[in-house]
Amino acid sequence: MLQYALEAKNLSFRYSHNSPFILKNINLKLRKGEITGIVGLSGSGKSTLIQILNGVIPKRVTGFLDGSVYLNGVDIADMELSYLARKIGTIFQDPDCQILFPCTEDEMAFGPENLCYEPYAIIERINSTAKMLAIEPLRYRNPNTVSGGEKQIIALASVLTLNVGIMIFDESMSFIDDRGKELIKNAILKLKKQGKSILMVEHDLSNLEVADHIFLLKNGTLEPFKGVIE
Amino acid sequence: MTKKIDPRVKLLFVICISSLGLAFTKFSMLLAVFFIGLLISHVLKADLFMLLKRIKIMLYLFVVLVVIQSIFVRSGDSLVNLGGITILTSEGLSRGFAYLMRVLIILISGAIIATCDMRRLIQGLIQMKLPYDFAFMTSIGVKFLPLLMEELKDTLTAIQLRGIDIGKLQLKERIEIISYIFTPVFVGALSKAKKLSLSVECRGFRAFDNRTSILTLKFSPFDYLAITLTFILTATLIITNQYFI
Ligand SMILES: Nc1ncnc2c1ncn2[C@@H]1O[C@H](COP(=O)(O)OP(=O)(O)O)[C@@H](O)[C@H]1O
Ligand SMILES: [Mg+2]
């Protein structure tokens, strides 16, 4: 058994020839079944790093990338994005840019429908996901009319129905109120209990209290964070 | 009930009225199609308020069109003369009205489609054997275009609120201002679309040539009735147009 779910080796990246390096020789190991946190200021390259880890860069967003990402020990360079969708789930920074449908249930069905699961299996998965996240009351609601925290939970739910082992959260806690943060935090702890490997990225350290390890992304480099959480 | 009507039935109806709107040339027939469309869109609780707002712009266009048609189409009776030049003829007027009716019919069609639940519309298109990615693209487009228009208008209002009266500016400045407005709105929309497509792909969209669905549309007896009525209505209109008017 490998110890790491996802591993990045010597990642360097810039968006174009004449722009500065956003990431410089980054090494990161996501331990299986644990919560890894990355903290960094706005613009430090957190979202960029996430997109490299989930394969969006360089498969869909172009740039100059050196280094490799390994999924369970295998380089993801040759994997299709649709294959990675079965392994890595990403909750992107802005839920408004993720939610397609005016009904939560349709949103949750979208992923497994793409992967051609049988309808009854999809319904089952929606049931269990809704139960786990305690969002049954939202099931038939319009995600565009709920609170920011609930919207994030719906974005999370629509990734969770894919039943992936690795979950990546891009500032899921940053733009929501305390109640919303509590919802997300509890959900992440439950996911950990289920054995999922989790990466949380935040600009605010106080949102990373559930993390088992924290790294600091600064000036394009990643190092273990040694500060104290206030 | 209106939500329950199969989106394929709405599509059929819309295809019928907009083709008739394009095919008919007689004003009375166009008026009939327009009122039928209006009636149905009212029954379906379409957002006619949006339509009304657009009509305001349309009327302006309409006047210009009538005058242009009157000046260049040299037939029909002259109605208004200005310094020896006929600026309004009966022919120009009726062509202008025909044009107005057509545009209104198209707008009504759009409003009717917009009453469809997006997921059901997509499913309808897929069950009509359209490729699913095409079905998704068009349906998402139908939903997002009005939002884009709204956003453009909001930005425009915001600029006017700052005391800039676009109408009073010179052409060059006007173009400059308008590009100030359009650029961020379009850049914003494009970036949102890009992010949306990334999120969608990371959830496996296009993984296979087809996809399953927890939703399957079935025509209800009411849908069959509506389809039949649509066909009868369309046939009646065509026959009336051919033989009676
Ligand atoms: N698609 C892109 N093209 C060019 N530059 C980009 C792109 N996306 C982000 N950047 C730049 O890369 C830097 C890091 O951005 P990002 O990864 O979004 O940071 P964070 O998520 O930490 O706020 C920023 O300076 C940003 O302007
Ligand atoms: Mg970011």
On whether residue B212 sits in a domain, the answer given is no
On whether residue B234 sits in a domain, the answer given is yes
Cα radius of gyration rounded to whole Å, chain B? 22
Contact state of B119 with A113 under an 8 Å Cβ cutoff = no
Rounded distance from Cα B230 to ligand 2 centre (Å)? 51
On whether residue B122 sits in a domain, the answer given is no
Residues B154 and B223 in one domain: no
Rounded distance from Cα B178 to ligand 1 centre (Å)? 28
Taking the C-alpha atoms of residue A43 and residue A45, their distance in angstroms, rounded to an integer, is 5
Q: Give percent of chain B with pLDDT exceeding 70.
A: 95
> Residue B226: its pLDDT value, please?
94
Residues B97 and B39 in one domain: yes
Residues B139 and B103 in one domain: no
- For chain A, the maximum distance between any two Cα atoms, rounded to a whole number of angstroms, is 52
> Where is pLDDT greater, at A30 or B140?
A30
pTM (predicted TM-score): 0.85
Check whether B153 has a pLDDT greater than 70. Answer: yes
On whether residue B121 sits in a domain, the answer given is no
Confidence of residue B3 (pLDDT cuts 50, 70, 90): low
The reply to whether ligand 1 has any atom less than 6 angstroms from the CB of A51 is no
- B15-62 pLDDT, tens digit per residue, is 999 999 999 988 889 999 999 999 999 999 887 777 777 777 777 877
Nearest to A95 by CA among A51, A143, A45: A143
Task: Judge whether A82 and B201 are in contact, CB under 8 Å.
Answer: yes
Residue B205 DSSP one-character state = T
Nearest CB partner across the interface for A117, out of B199, B205, B212? B212
The residue whose CB lies within 8 Å of the most ligand 1 atoms, and thus the one to mutate among A17, A47, A175, A215, is A47
The DSSP bridge partners found for residue A36 are: A199, A213
The C-alpha torsion from B35 through B38 and B43 to B48, rounded to 10°, is: -160
Confidence of residue B8 (pLDDT cuts 50, 70, 90): very high
Domain membership of residue B242 as a residue range: 1-116+217-245
> Residue B205: its pLDDT value, please?
93
The reply to whether ligand 1 has any atom less than 6 angstroms from the CB of A44 is yes
Check whether B127 has a pLDDT greater than 80. Answer: yes
Confidence of residue B9 (pLDDT cuts 50, 70, 90): very high
> Residues for chain B: how many in total?
245
Nearest to A22 by CA among A1, A3, A2, A41: A41
Residues B111 and B135 in one domain: no
Residue type, B207: A
Of A73-87, A115-129, A164-178, B169-183, which gets the smallest average pLDDT?
B169-183
> Residue A228: its pLDDT value, please?
53
Check whether A230 has a pLDDT greater than 50. Answer: no
> Where is pLDDT greater, at B192 or B182?
B192
> Residue B154: its pLDDT value, please?
76
The residue whose CB lies within 8 Å of the most ligand 1 atoms, and thus the one to mutate among A11, A12, A13, A15, is A15
Structure tokens at A202: 């935040």
Provide the CB-side half-sphere exposure for B107 (13 A, CA): 20
Residues B198 and B225 in one domain: no
The DSSP bridge partners found for residue A128 are: none
> Residue B143: its pLDDT value, please?
67
> Residue A33: its pLDDT value, please?
92
Provide the CB-side half-sphere exposure for B65 (13 A, CA): 16
Residues B158 and B71 in one domain: no
Q: A162 touching B, CB under 8 A?
A: yes
On whether residue B124 sits in a domain, the answer given is no
Residues B102 and B17 in one domain: yes
- A37-67 pLDDT, tens digit per residue, is 999 999 999 999 999 999 999 999 999 999 9
Residues B2 and B86 in one domain: yes
Residues B2 and B99 in one domain: yes
Nearest to A169 by CA among A129, A124, A202: A202
> Where is pLDDT greater, at B141 or A30?
A30
CB count in 10 Å sphere of residue B173: 12
On whether residue B4 sits in a domain, the answer given is yes
Check whether A95 has a pLDDT greater than 50. Answer: yes
- Mean of the pLDDT values across residues B120-131? 93
Cα radius of gyration rounded to whole Å, chain A? 17
Check whether A226 has a pLDDT greater than 50. Answer: yes
Structure tokens at B208: 């296979």
Give A60's contacts in chain B (Cβ within 8 Å).
197-198, 201
CB count in 10 Å sphere of residue B217: 17
Residues B98 and B136 in one domain: no
**Tokens 């000036």, residue located:** A219
The reply to whether ligand 1 has any atom less than 6 angstroms from the CB of A104 is no
Nearest CA to ligand 1 atom 26: A43
Residues B150 and B183 in one domain: yes
Of A52-56, A143-147, B89-93, B220-224, which gets the smallest average pLDDT?
B89-93
Check whether B166 has a pLDDT greater than 70. Answer: no
Number of domains, chain B: 2
On whether residue B194 sits in a domain, the answer given is yes
Contact state of B214 with A86 under an 8 Å Cβ cutoff = no
- Mean of the pLDDT values across residues B111-126? 90
Check whether B162 has a pLDDT greater than 80. Answer: no
Taking the C-alpha atoms of residue B12 and residue A69, their distance in angstroms, rounded to an integer, is 50
Question: DSSP string covering B1-69, please?
Answer: -TTTS-HHHHHHHHHHHHHHHHH---HHHHHHHHHHHHHHHHHTT--HHHHHHHHHHHHHHHHHHHHHH
Check whether B2 has a pLDDT greater than 80. Answer: no
> Residue B57: its pLDDT value, please?
74
Who's near A213: CB < 8 A, 6+ residues apart?
A31, A34, A35, A36, A37, A224
Domains of chain A by start residue, with CATH:
34-62+88-224 (3.40.50.300)
Q: A215 touching B, CB under 8 A?
A: no
Question: DSSP string covering A151-208, please?
Answer: HHHHHHHHHHTT--SEEEEESTTTTS-HHHHHHHHHHHHHHHHTT-EEEEEESSGGGG
Contact state of A114 with B118 under an 8 Å Cβ cutoff = no
Residues B65 and B42 in one domain: yes
Rounded distance from Cα A44 to ligand 2 centre (Å)? 8
Task: Judge whether B181 and B156 are in contact, CB under 8 Å.
Answer: yes
**Tokens 């009205």, residue located:** B97
> Where is pLDDT greater, at B141 or A61?
A61
Taking the C-alpha atoms of residue B29 and residue B240, their distance in angstroms, rounded to an integer, is 8
Task: Judge whether A151 and A143 are in contact, CB under 8 Å.
Answer: yes
On whether residue B22 sits in a domain, the answer given is yes
> Where is pLDDT greater, at A34 or B68?
A34
- A112-166 pLDDT, tens digit per residue, is 999 999 999 999 999 999 998 889 999 999 998 998 888 999 999 999 999 999 9
> Residue A7: its pLDDT value, please?
94
Nearest to A63 by CA among A132, A107, A110, A12: A12
ipTM beyond 0.95?
no
Rounded distance from Cα A43 to ligand 1 centre (Å)? 6
> Where is pLDDT greater, at B2 or A226?
A226
Angle (deg, nearest 10), helices B132-161 and B90-114: 110
> Residue A229: its pLDDT value, please?
43
Query: Omega of the bond prior to A58 within 30 degrees of 0, cis?
Result: yes
